[in-house]
Amino acid sequence: MAPGAGMGGFMAQAQRLQAKIAEIQQKLRETVVEGRAGGGLVKAKMNGHHDVIRVIIETGAVDPDDYELLEDLIVAAITDARVKADEMVRDEMARAAQEVGIPPAIAEQMMGGGL
């Protein structure tokens, strides 16, 4: 192998990963996960970029004498959605890294730790 061929191969992998990342970013904008709290009384929908798309509150979740509970349920549902979105991002990045032959940890560093 000629000197520098290894670096050239790595650069080609990095370029393929960058193209894959662009695809993943678009997919994550369009993919929605749902977080739940209170047995599904409160739901939060979020995309892979952590944008909250919608919060759904079932009638039974609203107690006029205890809005603090409702606030806690909303926070819990959003947190649950964020955890699911984070898992989705990690899975997509690991899959993309594997497809182009780069260890997932290096791919994550190239992304600055996330999308």
CATH number at residue 64: 3.30.1310.10
In a domain, 68, yes or no: yes
Q: Please give the residue range of the domain that contains residue 39.
A: 26-110
In a domain, 10, yes or no: no
In a domain, 17, yes or no: no
Report pTM: 0.76
pLDDT one-digit tens code per residue, 14-66: 788 788 888 888 999 999 999 999 999 999 999 999 999 999 999 988 888 99
Helix then strand count (H, E) for the chain reads 3, 3
In a domain, 42, yes or no: yes
In a domain, 97, yes or no: yes
Q: Which contacts (CB < 8 Å, 24+ apart) does range 42-45 have?
A: 42/70, 42/73, 42/74, 42/76, 42/77, 43/77, 44/74, 44/77, 44/78, 44/80, 44/81, 45/81
The number of domains in the chain is: 1
In a domain, 76, yes or no: yes
Which residues are within 8 A (CB) of 110 and not within 5 positions of it... i.e. 6 or more apart?
Answer: 14, 17, 18, 21, 102
